[in-house]
């Protein structure tokens, strides 16, 4: 009888070990969930990406999917038509990586057409981020992607460090307050022959203005647009606010089309800075 018990002993030890390991794993998962270390939100193909406008057919468009944002690149202006992203509260609060001012050409663009940082030399314009570095501190790849030249537009220095930066910070505040916001921004060209600079084959068109539209999808969805001149903008932010309909009229881009028509028509016709605490 004693001999039989000794033979069963290793199996018994193995079963007990497995139970202990499973129990420890489950306790760690429950602890993480209880104390706020929840999985971060990730965009997947099954999620409706409300930030993406309708595909453009009246101008060149190459969609470039980056870590955390999408660029609609225009090979004629060598600037984005727009850049779109979904800014969550966790992403707006992230401090995992620090800004590293290393601007690079985008490898998704052919080398003979690729804008490089030297194309901006002596242009008197900043390499102005459309999707800002402050929205990409959640991962090193996202930070590197946001410094690709396809995410840049020639921007007046005073606007870049002033009112445009203020609007970027306001968007992060909205993301933290509302949980998430969908954002689209890009250049506006008032002239068919805009000022250009850069090397032959890399000539970059200088925007006259910039737009940004923001969508909050909550119990009561709302949206707002902004138009800034490509120069110093010193008035209060609410003075640059417009309806999304107005931005669509100026850009020819159809924003937030994946909303139901009733909601889309209502929120895109409104311009209510007070609803956004402006």
Classify residue 235 by burial, with Cβ atoms within 10 Å: 0-12, 13-18, 19+. exposed
**pLDDT of amino acid 210:** 98
Q: Is the pLDDT of residue 12 over 80?
A: no
Q: What is the DSSP string of 160-203?
A: HHTHHHHHHHHHHHHHHHHSEEEEEEEEE-SSSS--EESSTT-P
**pLDDT of amino acid 1:** 41
- Could you state, in order of their start, the residue ranges of all structural domains in the chain? 1-39, 45-276
Q: What is the DSSP string of 36-79?
A: T-PPPP---TTS--TTSPPPP-SS--EEEE-SS-EEEEETTTTE
Phi and psi at 62, nearest 5°, equal -120, 115
pLDDT band per the 50, 70, 90 thresholds, residue 259: very high
pLDDT tens for 219-256 read 999 999 999 999 999 999 999 999 999 999 999 999 99
pLDDT cut 70: percent of the chain above it:
83
CB 51 within 8 A of CB 184: yes
CATH number for the segment(s) 45-276: 3.40.570.10
Given CA atoms 117, 195, 59, 84 in this order, what sign does their dihedral have?
positive
Range with the poorest average pLDDT among 62-66, 78-82, 100-104, 226-230: 100-104
Which among 277, 254, 276, 278 has a CA at the least distance from the CA of 268?
254
Distance CA 237, CA 170 (A): 10
Distance CA 10, CA 15 (A): 9
Q: Is the pLDDT of residue 56 over 90?
A: yes
A 10 A CB-CB count for 211 gives: 25
Range with the poorest average pLDDT among 186-195, 197-206, 242-251: 197-206
Q: Which helix (H) or strand (E) holds 84?
A: strand 79-88
Distance CA 191, CA 139 (A): 38
Distance CA 139, CA 104 (A): 17
Under DSSP, the state recorded for 242 is E
Displacement of CA 206 from its chain's centroid (Å): 22
CB 184 within 8 A of CB 255: yes
Q: Taking residues 108-123, what's their average pLDDT?
A: 95
pLDDT band per the 50, 70, 90 thresholds, residue 29: very low
**pLDDT of amino acid 18:** 59
Tokens linked to 208: 């006259």
pLDDT, the chain, mean: 88
Distance CA 197, CA 204 (A): 5
Q: Is the pLDDT of residue 38 over 50?
A: no
> Which pTM does this prediction carry?
0.83
């Amino acid at each position: 009888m004693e001999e039989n018990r000794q033979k069963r002993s290793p199996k018994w030890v193995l079963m007990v070990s497995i139970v202990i390991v499973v129990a420890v794993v489950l306790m760690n998962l429950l602890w993480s969930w209880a104390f706020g270390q929840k999985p971060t939100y990730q965009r997947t193909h099954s999620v409706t990406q409300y930030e993406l406008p309708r595909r453009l057919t009246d101008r060149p468009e190459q969609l470039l999917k980056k870590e955390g944002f999408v660029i609609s690149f225009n090979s004629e202006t060598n600037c984005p038509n727009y850049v779109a992203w979904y800014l969550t509260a966790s992403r707006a609060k992230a401090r995992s990586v620090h800004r590293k001012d290393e601007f690079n050409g985008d490898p998704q663009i052919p080398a003979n057409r690729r804008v490089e940082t030297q194309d901006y030399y002596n242009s008197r314009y900043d390499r102005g981020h459309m999707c800002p570095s402050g929205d990409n501190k959640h991962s090193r790849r996202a930070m590197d992607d946001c410094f690709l030249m396809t995410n840049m537009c020639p921007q007046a220095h005073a606007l870049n460090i002033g009112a445009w930066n203020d609007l970027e910070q306001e968007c992060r505040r909205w993301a933290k307050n509302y949980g998430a916001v969908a954002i689209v921004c890009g250049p506006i060209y008032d002239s068919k022959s805009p000022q250009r600079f850069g090397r032959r084959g890399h000539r970059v068109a200088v925007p006259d203005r910039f737009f940004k539209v923001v969508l909050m999808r909550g119990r009561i969805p709302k949206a707002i647009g902004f138009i800034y001149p490509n120069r110093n903008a010193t008035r209060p932010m609410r003075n640059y606010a417009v309806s999304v309909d107005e931005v669509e009229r100026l850009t020819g881009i159809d924003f937030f089309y994946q909303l139901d028509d009733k909601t889309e028509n209502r929120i895109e016709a409104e311009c209510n800075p007070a609803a956004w605490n402006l």
